[in-house]
A and B are shown apart, each in its own frame.
Chain A
Amino acid sequence: MTRTRRFAAVTAIMAAVTCTGSGCTVIPLSGPIAVSDVGAGDPLGRPFQRMIAIGPQREWGPEETIKGMQAAMAAYPDDPSVLQQYLTPEAKATWNASGPVTVIDDAFEIVAPPPGDGTETVQTVTLKGSSVASIKEDDSYVPTAGAWERPYELVKAPGGGYRVNALPPGLLLTASDVDRAYRPTNLYYLNRSTQDRLVVDRVRLRMKTTERFAQTVLERLLQQPTAALQGAVSTSFPPGTAIESVRSGEERVVIDLASPLDPLDLSAEDALRAQIRYTLNNNDVAKGRIIEIQVNGEPYAVDRPNSDEHWLDDSGDHAYYVSRGAVRHLGKDRPEGVVPGAAGEPREGYSDFAMSLSKDGPPLVAALTTTGISVASLTQDGRWQEVIHGESLTPPTWHRDGSLWTYDRDNAVLLRYDPAHGQAPERVSAPEVEKLDVTRLRIARDGVRVAVTTGKNTVQIGALTGGGTMLGNLQLLTTIEMGSEITDVAWGDDEHLLVLVQTKAGQILNEINVGDGETTGVPLKDRLNSVAALDDRILAEAETEKGTKLLELNQDRQTWATKLETDAGAPLFPLG
């Protein structure tokens, strides 16, 4: 065989092997190979649809014109020019979009005046609907109810069609408009008194076409909280801070702040990271991603996902219950015996137990007696000790700073007792509460919000302002119809309050978002006496023929499971 022939044979064999190995595919077969998990970058935004406003048409009558104008109001922040086309020059001169946004139900109607002879140039039509909510200028969403109507003056336009002559200031949106353009958003601020816990503030933010949702949220976070939390929370962002840019790289989200913050001063770094992390993640943005914070272009902090959970930590979900006056541990699946000390001994006359959250030592349990409120430590030598005297006190509630709070209905004063100092209870200023018939007081686990039931059928939400020295910012959360009665309230997580209502028709258990009043009903089967909740866990005492039993709401949030059949009730979680 000559050299040339040998070379040709080798080449042919190599070509055949290559062709067979690759299967003659266009894309070569390979693998398994290690692949990088790096994504293509977080979009940092959320898709949304917008109303596209159309200017007034010549062939439109008064009803279409008002509907078109309302649609133009829905699109006003995106394109203010279309709404202007609906207005007469006078109306343009006087109208402005400032003020609260009125939200009405989609099914509104336009009531036109009786038909005239066709020569009248001015017509007054009335828009009738039912009020749904109001979005305040601080972006808080306040549900409202009741009928709503507003007259509009229409002028015939020279070329045909109508123009609106007089228009009250502010925008009028339908519920669909709000669903389309606004997103419920949780902002996280710092508990002003303890500075160790984030407090959620719920707002409705309008989606902007010009910027991504992450930027919209962060820019709102730099502003003041809503009126409900004014004075009660603080922020780690120094005044004058602005968002320079929010970028999404392959591995991380980079937030550049224009701020007077000193990049070398890391005292606020932890809180700042937590505020940004929770505000973004809990609004489904930048979830599971590294967040890099820059100050004036200089690296400041890097926050890794799940690095630190203590900012929303509620210290476990250890539950307790009361059996014949004795406080007992409740394990996940079965009872785990009595608590140590006097609190674990059966005793009559103690009710409305409340468990404290103690970071260093054993927790304290408080209970209401006929003469006041007693406290016992959950230690072997713990003894009941009456710390607040009074015959008409509301059930005790613990603050996360370790203090015990109650309202003395006889003297109309809010009392605070601090076991660490052992001094007499001190009065806490609560000017808004003093005039009310306070029946219940529950401090949320964030240490800021306070649920106050007044009378039998109203729940108001206040906040501990001034570094915890005053109860203020009271806002109505819910009112039930007369004849019904609120039998218990309990904080679920920081933004949800469970309200147990006894109506004539039966019992209702509602989970209400204290930020925007969004209410979710929890189905009930048994008659409940009390509820306790911690995040997703809801425990309840149900009344049976044999006494009381302990129930727990299943994960599907539709059915209840019996935890203890007999002699078990008054479930307790620390705080809340």
Chain B
Amino acid sequence: MPPTNQRRSRRTFRQILGGARRRVRRAAGKARSTWRRSLQLQVVTSTMVISVIVVVVLGTFLFGQISKSVVDSTQESSNSEAFADRLQIADALAPETDDQDKTTDSGKQGSANPLDEVMDTITGSGEGGTEKRYDMLVLNRRLPGASRGSGTVVPGDVPANLQLGLQRNIRDQQYDEPLATTGKIRFAEEGQSRLTYVIGGVVHVPTSGESYEVYHFFPLDEEEQLLVNVRLAIVVVGLGLVLLLAAIAYLVTRQVVTPVRLARQAAERLAAGKLDERLKVRGEDDLARLANSFNEMAANLALKIHQLEELSQVQRQFVSDVSHELRTPLTTVRMAADLLYDAREDFDPMASRSAELMQAQLERFESMLADLLEISRYDAGAATLDLDPVDVRDLVLRAIADSEALAERHSTRFELRLPNEPCMAEVDNRRVERILRNLLFNAIEHGEGRDVVVTVGGDRDAVAVAVRDHGIGLKPGEDTLVFDRFWRADPSRARTIGGTGLGLAISREDAALHGGWLQAWGQPGEGSQFRLTLPRTAGADLKGSPLPLVPPEIEMRRTWRTSMTPVLLPAVADGGGYDED
């Protein structure tokens, strides 16, 4: 059944999701790597995190204290104002409770409503009165015309719980227990909520038995604005403080890290072979002493290396000289041995067998000597390339033809995977053939009679040949050791094809001479694969290889296992990509 559009779109979405996840993972990996690598970043980040925590804790505490003191003082003054107003109202509504003097001269006030008079005084409605910062309500729901208000407040603005509490106080005859509430009140006249502190108290007139609910509405706009400004200031100052501390941490760590970084760079350059690299020494502090020590170490190291180089040079020269010197007597010995070998049938069996053995060992000795001479040429830097544009497929075929005999002896078959188009590259025929022969011989020798797969691939910049065997494979770490001189996977194992132990070392030198790579992959029980990657133009920089180092079937199996049981399988750290160098 052909895939429907829906499935395609789902796949696309999944791909997008996967891509995004990969990108995020990559970015996180980069960040983690940057974090791990930068001491300065670690110090600055730690300083920032700690100072943010300190600033947040301090800011919260500070703001809480300021807020509390502002609100407390406002509420305190509001309470006292409300209390004074209630006293005035109580005084005005119960004139008979005043002292005698007041009652005698209050005759002219008799006609006016005492509630009006006291409200005029409290609200500043009288002559020359000034506007109060609060509004108030005096409510008596039992007596007609005995309720007053100032400003815009109406009875509906009183918070319900406050009103109920006050009415309960009236019922319980608890007249001296004012209640207060702070809340956003949506005033009917204004249509918008305002933070208000509302105090409700009862004024009881014992003579008439009337109780007046007195509500004061104190706007907290100014206090709210003040606290908003304080909070803003704390946030800005805190932010500034954090940034300042981060900057200080940056500058301080820079003083320490910069010399350390310079030391690291110098060490890297030193490691890269620039033995005359030294640090500048400034001052007398610890870092200066570190630089001094480093410079001394570098000097000693350079001296030792120089000595070692000289020694190595002497050794190489010695090997080269020995090889050369051995050739002449070897040639004579060889000629004598050939004679003995040719006449072996005339000898008794013991002598005949000895002649054969001598012949074989002499051949091996000769090839070993040739390899030693070749290596000596490399060590002396005398190796040169004889470049010709060739089709790599032809080189592979020729190398296979040379290996056919050995393969037959081991019952090994070759499986060739060659591209249809020519794979042209500028290479030295002889050296590349030698590399391929070496790889094929190795594969046959370690392939345990199983098929050897030879794959050729190419892209715009490079060509690659991969030789895959299905033998015992390589243990972890052996993929680099195989290229060491005279390295042997199992020292007890006999060489069946008479290898010198220098083949892969020479092959690697050959590949490097082309500017190419020779890499190995192997896994116990899975066989191994050697990949030769050469630039199409000799000397060009390689950016990647057209063929994978890890065989595709292994990679697929690993991916499948990872996706099925991601936790159970340990991550394999060998090169899985195409472009490792």
Contact = CB atoms under 8 A, between A and B. Distances in A.
Q: Do A and B bind each other?
A: yes
Interface of A: 43, 45-54, 57, 59-60, 64-65, 67-68, 70-71, 74, 78-79, 106-107, 176, 179-180, 209-210
B125 A67 contact: no
B129 to A, nearest CB: 6
Interface in B196-234: none
Given A64-B144, A176-B112, A180-B116, A48 B189 contact: no
B154 A79 contact: yes
A50 B116 contact: no
Contact of B113 (A53, A60, A176, A210): A176
Contact of B123 (A47, A71, A107): A47
Nearest to A78: B154
Interface in B96-127: 111-113, 116, 119-120, 123-125
Contact of A47 (B130, B148, B154): B130
Given A49-B149, A51-B147, 8 more contacts: A47-B130, A48-B123, A50-B148, A51-B145, A52-B138, A52-B139, A59-B142, A78-B154
Contacts of B141: 54, 57
Contacts of A74: 145
A210 B129 contact: no
A-B pairs, 3 with minimum CB distance: A68-B144, A71-B145, A52-B147
B132 A47 contact: yes
Given A49-B149, A52-B139, A57-B141, A106 B112 contact: yes
Contacts of B125: 46-49, 180
Given A43-B131, A45-B131, A106-B111, A54 B147 contact: yes
Contacts of A64: 143-144
Interface residues of B, number: 31
Contacts of A78: 154
Interface string B138-164: 111111110111111011000000000
A46 B126 CA distance: 10
Contacts of B147: 51-54, 71
Contacts of B436: none
A72 to B, nearest CB: 9
B130 A209 contact: no
Q: DSSP class of B's interface residues: helix, strand, loop or mixed?
A: loop
A26 B179 CA distance: 34
B137 interface: yes
Contact of A50 (B112, B124, B132, B149): B149
A47 B111 contact: no
B116 A60 contact: no
B111 A107 contact: yes
14 contacts: A43-B131, A46-B125, A47-B124, A48-B125, A49-B116, A49-B150, A51-B145, A52-B148, A54-B140, A64-B144, A65-B144, A67-B144, A71-B144, A209-B151
Contacts of A46: 125, 129, 131
B142 to A, nearest CB: 7
B120 A49 contact: yes
Contacts of A60: 144
B163 to A, nearest CB: 14
A59 B154 CA distance: 23
A105 to B, nearest CB: 8
Contacts of A53: 147
A481 B328 CA distance: 167
A106 B129 CA distance: 24
A50 B145 contact: no
A154 to B, nearest CB: 14
Contacts of B124: 47
B203 to A, nearest CB: 15
A51 B139 CA distance: 10
Contacts of B139: 52, 54
A432 to B, nearest CB: 37
Given A47-B124, A51-B147, A64-B144, A209 B152 contact: yes
A381 B327 CA distance: 163
Most buried by B among A48, A78, A106, A107: A48
Contacts of A71: 144-145, 147
Contacts of B143: 64
B148 to A, nearest CB: 5
Contacts of B112: 106, 176
Nearest to B150: A49
B129 A47 contact: yes
Contacts of B154: 52, 78-79
Given A64-B144, A180-B125, A52 B132 contact: no
A509 to B, nearest CB: 23
A49 B189 contact: no
A53 B148 CA distance: 8
B83 to A, nearest CB: 19
Contact of A70 (B137, B145, B149): B145
A79 B149 CA distance: 12
A79 B150 CA distance: 14
A180 to B, nearest CB: 6
A84 to B, nearest CB: 16
Nearest to A74: B145
Contacts of A67: 144-145
A45 B131 CA distance: 8
Nearest to B190: A210
Nearest to A284: B128
Interface in B275-308: none
B155 A209 contact: no
A281 to B, nearest CB: 16
A52 B144 contact: no
A68 B142 CA distance: 10
Given A47-B132, A179-B116, A180-B116, A52 B155 contact: yes
Nearest to B155: A52
A52 B113 contact: no
Nearest to A55: B141
A514 to B, nearest CB: 22
Given A48-B123, A53-B147, A54-B141, A106 B113 contact: yes
A176 B116 CA distance: 8
A79 B155 CA distance: 11
Nearest to A45: B131
Contacts of B111: 106-107
Interface in B153-177: 154-155
Most buried by B among A51, A70, A210: A51
A179 B155 CA distance: 22
A71 B151 CA distance: 18
B298 to A, nearest CB: 35
B142 A52 contact: no
A210 B131 contact: no
B137 A210 contact: no
A43 B151 CA distance: 13
Nearest to A86: B144
Give the one of A50, A51, A67, A106 with max B CB within 10 A.
A50
B144 A49 contact: no
Nearest to B117: A176
Contacts of A49: 116, 119-120, 123, 125, 148-150
Nearest to B145: A71
Contacts of A57: 141-142
A48 B145 contact: no
Nearest to B132: A47
A451 to B, nearest CB: 28
Nearest to A179: B116
A161 to B, nearest CB: 11
A68 B137 CA distance: 17
Nearest to B120: A49
Contact of A54 (B123, B132, B144, B150): B144
Contacts of B150: 47-50
A62 B165 CA distance: 31
Nearest to B147: A52
Contacts of B129: 46-47
A574 B132 CA distance: 45
